[in-house]
Chain A
Amino acid sequence: GNSVTQMEGPVTLSEEAFLTINCTYTATGYPSLFWYVQYPGEGLQLLLKATKADDKGSNKGFEATYRKETTSFHLEKGSVQVSDSAVYFCALSLDGNNRLAFGKGNQVVVIP
């Protein structure tokens, strides 16, 4: 079936460090790929998306590139801030209904 796998465990890093969160997918077709973020006490919100291979999504200093050859959509940010502390979810959708399949999420904690 169609699924998303995120790296295990929370991520703790210092302010201004480089952040990478790995995401790989399994899909029968060519999905659209998303990163959603959940800040403490808030609902999930779309961070960025890519709808075809080699597309790069970007927002708020975060980037992710749709890599069909490695079936990956890793999230990166060059210099994190304390305000980036949140849970990050990778997701895919395969059809015109945009039904999302989410990964398990990664808790990111940025310490000053």
Chain B
Amino acid sequence: EAGVAQSPRYKIIEKRQSVAFWCNPISGHATLYWYQQILGQGPKLLIQFQNNGVVDDSQLPKDRFSAERLKGVDSTLKIQPAKLEDSAVYLCASSTRQGAYEQYFGPGTRLTVT
């Protein structure tokens, strides 16, 4: 079974530029999560989708971050404009259903904002 795929793996941009990350969850997984992991900290949940609907986006900085999951499969996370403090690894995870205990994580996208 293929795991969670993310791209790109690495991205370097200048502040005030925009960037987008892509996630393809495990086939059939209804729930998708985006996390932000700043160096030296644990992952922090940004947004959770159930199929193509948002379950929780309370920690998403909506003035600059947006996310969508069209058709309930792939998802994109966008930052516009980026700030220096957005430098982090962005992790995508999926699970079989809402409330399922195990989340399956992708390798992450490492973003550096200069």
Contacts and interface: CB of A to CB of B under 8 A. Distances in A.
Interface of A: 4, 32, 34, 36, 41-46, 49, 51, 89, 91, 96-105
A96 B42 contact: no
Nearest to A89: B42
A97 B91 contact: no
B98 A46 contact: no
Interface stretch (B12-20, B69-77, B80-88, B104-112): B104-112
B49 to A, nearest CB: 11
Contacts of A102: 42-44
A105 B42 contact: yes
- Chain B contact residues: helix, strand, loop or mixed: loop
The 9 closest A-B pairs by CB, nearest first: A102-B42, A43-B105, A44-B105, A96-B99, A46-B102, A43-B107, A102-B43, A104-B42, A103-B42
A45 B95 CA distance: 12
Question: Which of B55, B56, B101 has the largest number of chain A CB atoms within 10 A?
Answer: B101
B61 interface: no
Interface residues of B, number: 25
Question: Which of A51, A91, A102, A103 has the largest number of chain B CB atoms within 10 A?
Answer: A102
B101 A98 contact: yes
Contacts of A99: 45, 48, 56
B4 interface: yes
A104 to B, nearest CB: 5
Interface in B26-85: 40-45, 48, 55-56
B101 A49 contact: yes
Contacts of B99: 96-98
Given A51-B101, A104-B40, A105-B42, 15 more contacts: A32-B101, A34-B101, A43-B104, A46-B101, A89-B42, A91-B42, A96-B99, A97-B55, A98-B95, A99-B45, A100-B43, A100-B103, A101-B45, A102-B42, A104-B41
Contacts of B95: 98
A20 B102 CA distance: 23
B3 interface: yes
B2 interface: no
